[in-house]
Amino acid sequence: MAQFKKASDIQVGVVGYGGAFNMGRRHLTDMQKAGMTPVAVTEVDPARLQVATEDFPGIQGYDSVAKMLKGSDVHLVVLITPHNTHARLALQCLRAGRSVITEKPFAITTAECDAMIGEAKRRKLLLSTYHNRHWDGCVLEAMKRIHREKAIGDVYRVEAHMGGYGQPGDWWRSSKTISGGILYDWGVHLLEYSLQIIGSEIVEVSGFARSGFWKTAWKKDTNEDAACAVVRFKNDAWLTLTISSLESNPKPGWLEVTGTRGTYILDGGTYEIIQFREDQKIVTKGKNIASQWERYYRNVAAHLTKGEKLIITPEWARRPIHILDLANQSAKKGTAMKAKYK
């Protein structure tokens, strides 16, 4: 999809500049480092919009997506908004002829993902999700050890987990309607790792959930206290994803990957390999390599200027959402849900 002669010809903008993590600034800065040109920002908070215009002198500021699409020549829009707005805003931008990147998660439901993918294909526009954690040091290290070095043999099980004991806050990420549920926030990151490591098609998903212990300002719309997705893959491997705010004894690490010749445990900073050699247990520990998040926007720029293959395709971004969506459906229905590929 080579549409531009050089990266600086790609005019970019963000929707959303607030929040505790300065995500708007980070995205515009990273796109700028990849050679693209920031031209527009949409933010409903006037104070945050003022900050954006100070951070990027000359950038055009808007208080609505409609005004940005009408008043600017932005080519690529990044959505840094609550999860339940991604599909609606993405479709609005795609229909206006603009390429779109959403923050993760891509959307909340499979149907939303498919609508976005269909619109992007019809209009021959770029659509992606900011899966920068595709290049987290922990998964880059794991892929090297597990797949290139075959340190634990053939992978047949991944256990992904996150959480502790405590009441969630009252922010929008604690609302099931807005966030999608407890599995969506950290779950989409852990699935990004797991799907790389397993490397097979999804067959079916079972979901389990416990609600009602914790209450927030969202009352009955508060996220589940704990939820789990169990995923069966075509290569006979399986995955469990558990996110909980009821864990009084959290498991170590973020992922425990088990193979025919050992186990690999990782978190954000370290890894541990447990192997048996001649009936002797061997434990190897180390530090993960540095993350390489800059590769995401470099790939986007190269895709739009040189036709380089897009790494985080919308089809790739659909997979974790399909798992989470099916897990939600399964938890309600009490039965496993079959995966569907377009």
The full DSSP string for 199-233 is -S-EEEEEEEEE-SSS--TTGGGBPPSEEEEEEEE
The share of the chain scoring above pLDDT 90, in percent, equals 95
**Closest by alpha carbon to 214, among 162, 165, 171?**
165
* Residue 342 pLDDT > 80: no
- Using 50, 70 and 90 to split pLDDT, how confident is the model at 19? low
Per-residue pLDDT, averaged over 284-294, amounts to 97
- Kindly report whether the peptide bond that precedes residue 320 is cis, defined as omega within 30 degrees of 0: no
Confidence of residue 285 (pLDDT cuts 50, 70, 90): very high
Which pLDDT score is estimated for 2?
A: 63
Mean pLDDT value of segment 190-205: 97
Q: How confident is the model at residue 327 (pLDDT cuts 50, 70, 90)?
A: very high
Q: Which pair of structure tokens corresponds to residue 326?
A: 């099916």
Taking 80 as the threshold, does the pLDDT of residue 13 lie above it? Answer: yes
Q: Are 128 and 116 in contact (CB under 8 A)?
A: no
Q: What residue ranges define each of the domains in the chain, with the CATH number in brackets?
A: 7-133+294-313 (3.40.50.720), 135-289+322-338 (3.30.360.10)
Q: What is the pLDDT of residues 258-279, one digit of tens each?
A: 999 999 999 999 999 999 888 8
Share of the chain above pLDDT 70, in %: 99
pLDDT at 20 over 90: no
Confidence of residue 44 (pLDDT cuts 50, 70, 90): very high
